């Protein structure tokens, strides 16, 4: 839909697919065609590559085309965008290793045709190495197609905000947000290299065609900026707008903030579904800073909603309808209010005592999003099971493990603490970047289990209800390389069969597809699919929560659970129990950097929004959306 109105907003061609798998199928097919055309002409194809989570599904598809479709890469020359600096090629997080593990080891590309900037050269030689990289690109005839991802700072390659349009391959300092994003991979922010070598914006712009890929809700804001905002230094991806053959290939979640999705009435004549009118009217109320019930026809007409008010108005009727819809989402009874008329309530009144299953991809996701709701469910006597799908061991910094191990050794007076002593030995022997041994991961998992228990205790949840599933996809994997398998799905299937819940709380439906949350959701979805047809499944409500820092918008929310000031305190305490997840280095100059601060601020923000609509004024609100597969 590249119509005139759309072009008024979007400054670069955008393609949107239902999910990343469908998107990469198109891009991979295009690459395959180009490679084959060049093969037929006896020429090379020069492909620019990226690392990170985003291109992983693309590389999987290229490997599949090689294996199943006979696509040969023998005439392909590759140039990667960037590499951390300094870093050894064998370092588990180096992009050299990443590319081998994700692509090169599985295709027939000759080694001498692969180029990745080196993080191994001496500091004094970086400049020359960068120049040589540029020369190698030129010698190959320039890049035919460059694949790009986008960072939350708007970076492309490692061209952080401030990078000039004409910058070339060079050494750069990494942005704080980029380092935070990489902290998990490097097992702590302090392990992330401070620098990187990256192709410049100018180098990237020289490619004959550019394809920027983005998946997941976490990229939605930056995608909007890059597609619809003015080109500017503070958002390097926006420079791509000036390229004659650049396009963005997105999944629905990363495209969700674009005007065509957020405010489709501004780019055409949309189908005014109940959800869309709710969205439009909620936005109108907030943008005019007027409670819903005070909006008048003129407000609609002056703000691009004439069609809506003409078709479905007058304003007063529309206002009341939306007011009631939002009002009906609010409930202090997330498990349903016994003996109440539930016609307009999010949950059913019966059975009064429900079997509730809370799925938390990693420990802490549960309390971040729904500690208040959990407290209420517990207080209302529901039969709760909280299942941690993964151990979360990868998220525990070595320092935390050392702290705990030393404590155990001292407390046992050096006598029996066999595991703890072995852990300390391993920590001494292990380099900061080395992968954890099985034993160390196990020990780190204990830390997270302990934190999870302490957190649930704060919420008043009976601790015997906790299940640690330690799903194999996580235990045997690393970040970005998780592969869901039969063992994962059957484990969850067993749990579902055993607990036969009336309600499931889950997350990850629109997360980055390679994230732990997305994998956790995939496992749940597949397991539930197998059980379809069983009576309890048909009767089960699945409530989606978000723990990734982005709450559901008011127009999407189907259940809003208020928290009192006291409940909010409990929530903060619950999250605070996840000690290993607090920042390792105190940050004094920034506000709300800790997970608990952010979660509380978000829930308060939601309450403020409801208040601005003219609904009741609460301290905080947690939001849920019903999943209807």
State the chain's maximal CA–CA distance in angstroms: 80
Q: Give the integer Cα–Cα distance in Å for 335 and 375.
A: 11
The verdict on 52 binding ligand F6R (CB under 6 A) reads yes
Pick from 470, 414, 412, 403: nearest CA to 442: 470
DSSP strand pairing (383-388 vs 355-360): parallel
Please identify which residue in 24, 27, 45, 53 interacts with ligand F6R, judged by CB under 6 A.
Answer: 53
Q: Give the nearest residue (CB) to ligand F6R.
A: 149
Number of residues in contact with ligand F6R under rule CB under 6 A:
13
CB-CB contact of 445 with 470 (8 Å): yes
8 A C-beta contact, residue 117 and residue 82: yes
Q: Quick check: helix, strand or coil at residue 217?
A: helix
Q: Under the criterion CB under 6 A, does residue 175 sit at the interface with ligand F6R?
A: no
Measured from the CB atom, the residue of 149 and 397 that comes closer to ligand F6R is 149
Query: 382 is written with which tokens?
Result: 């529901």
Answer for the pair 451, 576: CB distance below 8 angstroms, yes or no.
Answer: no
> Does 510 contact ligand F6R by CB under 6 A?
no
DSSP symbol at 444 = H
Give the shortest CB-52-to-ligand F6R separation in angstroms: 3
How would you classify the pairing of strands 383-388 and 466-468?
A: parallel
| Nearer CB in complex with ligand F6R: 181/622 | 181
- Residue (of 625, 598, 483, 420) closest to 542 by Cα position: 625
CB of 260 to ligand F6R, least distance (A): 23
Residue 79 CB, nearest approach to ligand F6R (Å) = 11
Radius of gyration of the chain (CA): 26
- Interactions with ligand F6R, residue window 303-322 (CB under 6 A): none
User: Is 51 or 606 the residue whose CB approaches ligand F6R more closely?
Assistant: 51
Of the pair 33, 483, the CB lying nearest ligand F6R is at: 483
Q: Does 393 bind ligand F6R (CB under 6 A)?
A: no
Q: Which is nearer to ligand F6R, 373 or 517 (CB)?
A: 517
Beta carbon nearer to ligand F6R, 156 or 455: 156
Cβ-based neighbour number of residue 524 at 10 Å: 28
Strand arrangement, sheet containing 503-506: 466-468, 383-388, 355-360, 503-506, 541-544, 620-626, 559-563
Site for ligand F6R in 144-173 (CB under 6 A): 149-151, 155-157
Nearer to ligand F6R, 211 or 561 (CB): 211
Quote the least distance from Cβ 168 to ligand F6R, whole Å. Answer: 15
Q: How many CB atoms lie within 10 A of CB 535?
A: 8
Which member of 54, 78, 238, 254 binds ligand F6R (CB under 6 A)? Answer: 54
CB closer to ligand F6R, 155 vs 546 = 155
Contact 360, 386 (CB under 8 A): yes
Contact 64, 101 (CB under 8 A): no
Q: What does 324-336 look like in DSSP terms, one character per residue?
A: HHHHHHB-S-TT-
Q: How far is the CB of 56 from ligand F6R (least distance, A)?
A: 8
Lay out the site mask for ligand F6R across 180-219 (x = CB under 6 A, - = otherwise). ----------------------------------------
CA distances from 16 to 248, 256, 271 (A): 8, 10, 19
- Which residue in the set 20, 47, 62, 81 belongs to the binding site for ligand F6R (CB under 6 A)? 81
- Give the nearer residue to ligand F6R in terms of CB position, either 184 or 604: 184
CB 93 to ligand F6R: min, Å: 12
Describe the crossing of helices 595-612 and 274-288 by its angle, rounded to 10 degrees.
90
State the binding string over 11-50 for ligand F6R (x if CB under 6 A, else -). Answer: ---------------------------------------x
d(CA 59, CA 37): 20
Positions marked active-site: 160
Q: How many CB atoms lie within 10 A of CB 473?
A: 22
The pair of three-digit structure tokens given for residue 111, joined into one six-digit string: 């080694």
Judge contact between 556 and 217, C-beta under 8 A.
no
Q: How far is the CB of 48 from ligand F6R (least distance, A)?
A: 10
Nearest approach in angstroms of CB 200 to ligand F6R is 12
Using CB under 6 A as the binding rule, whether residue 82 contacts ligand F6R is answered as: yes
Name the minimum Å distance from CB 81 to ligand F6R. 4
Helix (H) or strand (E) holding 302, with range, is helix 297-302
Q: Catalog residues that contact ligand F6R under the rule CB under 6 A.
A: 50-54, 81-82, 149-151, 155-157
């Amino acid at each position: 839909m590249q119509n005139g109105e759309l072009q008024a907003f979007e400054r670069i061609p955008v393609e949107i697919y239902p999910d990343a798998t469908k998107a990469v199928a198109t891009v991979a097919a295009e690459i395959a065609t180009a490679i084959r055309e060049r093969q037929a002409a006896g020429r090379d194809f020069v492909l620019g590559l990226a690392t990170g989570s985003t291109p992983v599904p693309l590389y999987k598809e290229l490997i599949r085309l090689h294996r199943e479709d006979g696509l040969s890469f023998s005439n392909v020359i590759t140039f990667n965008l960037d590499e951390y600096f300094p870093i050894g090629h064998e370092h588990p997080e180096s992009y050299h290793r990443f590319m081998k593990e994700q692509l090169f080891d599985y295709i027939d590309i000759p080694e001498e045709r692969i180029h990745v900037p080196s993080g191994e050269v001496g500091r004094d030689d970086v400049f020359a190495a960068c120049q040589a990289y540029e020369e190698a690109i030129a010698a190959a005839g320039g890049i035919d197609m460059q694949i790009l991802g986008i960072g939350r700072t708007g970076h492309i390659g490692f061209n952080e905000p401030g990078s000039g349009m004409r910058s070339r391959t060079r050494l750069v300092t990494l942005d704080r947000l980029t380092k935070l994003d990489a902290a998990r991979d490097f097992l702590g922010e302090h392990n992330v290299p401070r620098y990187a070598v990256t192709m410049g914006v100018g180098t990237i712009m020289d490619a004959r065609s550019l394809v920027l890929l983005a998946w997941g809700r976490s990229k939605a804001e930056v995608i909007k900026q890059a597609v619809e905002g003015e080109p500017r230094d503070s958002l390097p991806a926006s420079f791509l707008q000036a390229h004659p053959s650049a396009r963005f290939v997105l999944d629905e979640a990363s495209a969700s903030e674009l005007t065509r999705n957020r405010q489709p009435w501004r780019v055409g004549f949309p189908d005014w579904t109940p959800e869309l009118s709710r969205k439009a009217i909620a936005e109108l109320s907030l943008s005019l800073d007027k409670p819903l019930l005070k909006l008048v026809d003129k407000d609609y007409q002056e703000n691009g909603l004439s069609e809506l008010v003409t078709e479905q108005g007058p304003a007063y009727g529309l206002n009341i309808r939306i007011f009631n819809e939002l009002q009906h989402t609010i409930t202090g009874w997330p498990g349903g209010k016994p003996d109440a008329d539930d016609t307009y309530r999010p949950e059913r009144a019966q059975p009064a005592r429900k079997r509730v299953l809370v799925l938390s991809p990693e420990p802490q996701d549960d309390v971040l999003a729904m500690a208040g709701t959990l407290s209420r469910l517990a207080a209302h006597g529901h039969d709760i099971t909280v299942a941690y799908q993964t151990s979360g061991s990868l998220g525990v910094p070595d320092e935390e493990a050392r702290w705990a191990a030393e404590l155990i050794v001292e407390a046992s007076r050096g006598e029996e603490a066999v595991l703890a002593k072995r852990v300390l030995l391993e920590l001494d022997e292990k380099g900061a970047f080395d992968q954890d041994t099985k034993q160390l991961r196990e020990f780190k998992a204990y830390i997270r289990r302990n934190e999870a228990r302490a957190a649930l205790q704060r919420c008043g949840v009976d601790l015997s209800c906790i299940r640690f599933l330690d799903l194999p996809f996580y235990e045997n994997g690393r970040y970005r390389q998780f592969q869901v398998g039969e063992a994962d799905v059957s484990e969850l299937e067993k749990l579902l069969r055993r607990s036969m819940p009336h309600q499931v709380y889950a997350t990850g439906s629109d997360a980055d597809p390679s994230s732990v949350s997305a994998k956790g959701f995939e496992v749940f979805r597949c397991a539930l699919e197998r059980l379809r047809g069983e009576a309890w499944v048909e009767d089960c409500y699945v409530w989606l929560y978000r723990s990734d820092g982005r709450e559901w918008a008011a127009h999407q929310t189907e259940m809003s659970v208020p928290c009192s000031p006291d409940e909010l305190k409990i929530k903060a305490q619950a999250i605070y129990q996840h000690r290993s997840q607090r920042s390792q280095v105190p940050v004094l100059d920034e506000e709300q950097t800790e997970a608990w601060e952010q979660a509380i601020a978000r829930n308060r923000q939601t309450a403020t929004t409801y208040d601005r609509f003219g609904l009741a004024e609460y301290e905080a609100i947690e939001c849920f959306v019903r999943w209807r597969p």
